[in-house]
Amino acid sequence: MKYDYLIVGAGPFGAVFAHEAMKCNKTCLVIDKRNHIGGNIYTEQVEDINVHKYGAHIFHTNDKEVWEYVNRFATFNRYTNSPIANFNGEIYNLPFNMNTFYRLWGVSDPKEAEQIIETQRLKCDDPQNLEEQALSLVGRDIYEKLIKGYTEKQWGRDCKDLPAFIIKRLPVRFTWDNNYFNDQYQGIPVGGYTPIIEKLLEGSEVRLNTDYFAQREYFDQIATKTVYTGMLDEFYNYQFGPLEYRTLRFDSEILDQPNFQGNAVVNYTDKETPFTRIIEHKHFEFGTQPKTVVTREYSKEYENGDEPYYPVNDQRNNARYLSYKGLVESEQNIIFGGRLAEYKYYDMWQIVRNSLDAARKELKEAQK
Binding footprint of ligand FAD on the chain (CB under 6 A) = 8-14, 31-34, 39-41, 54-59, 211-213, 229-230, 248, 309, 338-340, 346-349, 351
Q: How far is the CB of 81 from ligand UDP (least distance, A)?
A: 9
> Residues of 324-356 as b/e, b for ≥16 C-beta within 10 angstroms?
beeebeeeeeebbbbbbbbbeebbbbbbbbbbb
Other CB atoms within 10 A of residue 96 CB: 24
Which among 273, 297, 295, 276 has a CA at the least distance from the CA of 88?
Answer: 273
- 54 and 42 in contact (C-beta within 8 Å)? yes
For residue 264, give every residue at least 6 positions away whose Cβ sits within 8 Å of its Cβ, in sequence order, or none: 56, 79, 81, 83, 279, 280, 281, 283, 284
Would you call 140 a catalytic residue per the annotation?
no
Selected from 16, 37, 94, 138, the binder of ligand UDP by CB under 6 A is 94
| H helix intervals, the chain | 12-23, 64-71, 98-105, 110-120, 130-138, 140-142, 148-155, 165-168, 194-200, 216-220, 232-235, 315-328, 348-367
Candidate list 246, 320, 339, 353, residue with the active-site label: 246
Q: How far is the CB of 150 from ligand UDP (least distance, A)?
A: 4
- 126 and 202 in contact (C-beta within 8 Å)? no
Check binding of 146 to ligand UDP (CB under 6 A): yes
Candidate list 32, 131, 297, 342, residue with the active-site label: 297
Q: What are phi and psi of 364, to 5 degrees?
A: -65, -45
Q: Which does 199 bind (CB under 5 to 8 A by kind): ligand UDP, ligand FAD, none?
A: none
Of the pair 189, 230, the CB lying nearest ligand FAD is at: 230
> Residues of 255-267 as b/e, b for ≥16 C-beta within 10 angstroms?
eeeeebeeebbbb
Q: Which among 165-173, 186-194, 210-218, 328-336 is the span making contact with ligand UDP, rule CB under 6 A?
A: 165-173
Q: Which does 28 bind (CB under 5 to 8 A by kind): ligand FAD, ligand UDP, none?
A: none
Check binding of 154 to ligand UDP (CB under 6 A): yes
Check binding of 104 to ligand UDP (CB under 6 A): no
Task: Convert residues 68-87 into a mask of x (bound to ligand UDP by CB under 6 A) and - (unbound).
Answer: -----------------x--
Q: Which does 196 bind (CB under 5 to 8 A by kind): ligand UDP, ligand FAD, none?
A: none
| Degrees, nearest 5: CA angle 187-250-336 | 65
Q: How far is the CB of 145 from ligand FAD (least distance, A)?
A: 23
Q: Which among 63-71, 164-172, 287-295, 322-330 is the span making contact with ligand UDP, rule CB under 6 A?
A: 164-172
Would you call 65 a catalytic residue per the annotation?
no
Would you call 297 a catalytic residue per the annotation?
yes
Binding region for ligand UDP (CB under 6 A) = 85, 94, 146-147, 150-151, 154, 166-167, 169-170, 267, 269
